Amino acid sequence: MDSLFEYRNCPSCGQNDFEVLFESNMKSDDFNVLFDYNMEGHDSQEGMEGYLVPGKEWGRHVKCKHCHLIYMNPMEQVSKTNEYYFKAKNNHAPTIRESYLRTAKSQVSLIQKYTSGTNLLDIGCAQGFFLFSASKVGYTTKGIEISRDAVEYARGEFGLDVEAKPFEELRFAENHFDVVTLWQVLEHVPYPLMILKEVHRILKPGGLLVVSTPNIEGIPAKILSKRWWDIKRLHINQFTTRTLTDILQNTGFRNTSSASYRGFVSLSILLTMMLKYLGVYEQLKALFNPDYVLGKILNKIMLVYSSKLNHCVVLGFK
Ligand SMILES: [Zn+2]
């Protein structure tokens, strides 16, 4: 059982002094099951649910007594979760495309407010919606992504330059990029400090870093508590604007501030997420079939929200 886990010191300040916020709700069997089947297929296959269905399975969450960061401790063994990421497949890419591209446009505008540099790296770029939007307005872009499926999409659909390797295995030149972005990435990585230090090294002096993560002090988190949809197996760090700012400052970033962008979500995506959360998606998923009229309509209706509702966005300069 123990070999399925890794213990770690606080991933922000390095201390090992915490209070337990809440225990894991998983049984020993749950930890084994998920890794041993073929994930190349359908996203609702048994086994993958624990990763994809929010508010369902989580590990023990602790809060550092020194810097107040909330993190999962122990976390599942890194090599095993990485295996999941390599194989993860998103069959919803065509459905999310429109809303993600619109969100990306707002993220690009945010960056343009803070810097005129155009050499941009996006770490954990997924299907490349953000990078594509950035490249359309003149950025020279580079992406890093470990899901093979997402890399294929980013290259095939958008012709993007994406490295299919973990960031830790790459070695970029010092003082190279004007902008580095980490959209919804730091909550997944076991050692965020190491990544931020490396980002600091490869940014040009004065270069901009933008980081966004779910906000455990946001309104949905406060209302739903442990059932908040961003409490899930793959989210092993939980930030607030304060703790996210702290970790950037600890890594040497200056002039940090919080910001926001406009997010877009189609009614189709929103309802899908809600029904999955409630555990009734399988019975009703035919409603969302984009080949039918209802599915088409639900896909067209676009809702807009501020990232502040559920996320922290913090930026800083080298
Ligand atoms: Zn700490």
User: Looking at this protein, which amino acid is placed at residue 123?
Assistant: I
CA of 262 to the centre of ligand 1 (A): 31
- How many domains does one find in the chain? 2
CB neighbour list of residue 296: distance below 8 Å, 6 or more residues apart: 290
Rounded distance from Cα 242 to ligand 1 centre (Å): 12
CA of 158 to the centre of ligand 1 (A): 40
pLDDT by residue for the chain (318 residues), tens digit each? 557 889 999 999 999 999 999 999 887 767 665 543 334 444 444 444 444 556 677 899 999 999 999 999 999 888 888 888 888 777 777 778 889 999 999 999 999 999 999 999 999 999 999 999 999 999 999 999 999 999 999 999 999 999 999 999 999 999 999 999 999 999 999 999 999 999 999 999 999 999 999 999 999 999 988 889 899 888 999 999 999 999 999 999 999 999 999 999 888 888 888 887 887 887 887 877 777 888 888 888 899 999 999 999 999 999
Q: Position 215: which residue type?
A: N
How far is the centre of ligand 1, averaged over its atoms, from the C-alpha of 96 (Å)? 36
186 and 54 in one domain? no
Residues 100 and 245 in one domain: yes
* In a shared domain, residues 120 and 210: yes
Q: How far is the CA of 70 from the centre of ligand 1 (A)?
A: 8
Choosing from 70, 87, 104, the residue where a domain stops is 87
Helices (H), 15-140: 28-33, 49-52, 78-87, 93-114, 129-136
Q: Domain containing 229 — which CATH number? A: 3.40.50.150
| Shared-domain flag, residues 136 and 42 | no
* Ligand 1: centre distance to CA 81 (Å): 23
Cβ atoms 302, 196 nearer than 8 A: no
Query: 173 CA to middle of ligand 1, Å?
Result: 30
CA of 56 to the centre of ligand 1 (A): 26
Distance between CA 42 and CA 48 in Å, rounded? Answer: 9
Gap from CA of 256 to ligand 1 centroid (Å): 19
Same-domain check for residues 178 and 303: yes
pLDDT at 256: 98
Instruction: Give the separation between CA 141 and CA 180, rounded to whole angstroms.
Output: 10
Q: Which residues, 6+ apart, have CB-to-CB distance to 43 below 8 Å?
A: 52, 89, 90, 91, 92
Tell how far the Cα of 111 is from the centroid of ligand 1, in angstroms. Answer: 29
In the reported structure, the alpha carbon of residue 80 is separated from the centroid of ligand 1 by a whole-number distance in angstroms of 25
Say whether both 106 and 141 belong to one domain. yes
Residues 53 and 137 occupy one common structural domain: no
- Residues 75, 141 within the same domain: no
Compute the distance from residue 217 Cα to the ligand 1 centre, in Å: 17
Q: Are residues 236 and 119 in the same domain?
A: yes
Do residues 164 and 231 both lie within one domain? yes
Name residue 303's beta-bridge partners: 265
Q: Are residues 44 and 152 in the same domain?
A: no
Give CA–CA dist 85/237, Å, rounded: 17
Q: How far is the CA of 223 from the centre of ligand 1 (A)?
A: 25
Ligand 1 centre from 178 Cα, in Å? Answer: 29
Residue 281 near residue 271 (C-beta atoms within 8 A): no
CA distance 194 to 177: 18
Give the range of the structural domain holding residue 23, as residue numbers without chain letter. 2-87
d(Cα 106, Cα 180) in Å, to the nearest integer?
16
From ligand 1's centre to the CA of 13, what distance in Å? 4
Task: State pTM to two decimals.
Answer: 0.91
pLDDT on residue 79 = 84
70 and 137 both lie in a single domain: no
Distance 7 CA to ligand 1 centre (A): 14
- From the CA of 6, how far away is ligand 1's center (Å)? 17
Nearest to 76 by CA among 21, 35, 123: 35
Ligand 1: distance of its center to the CA of 50 in Å? 28
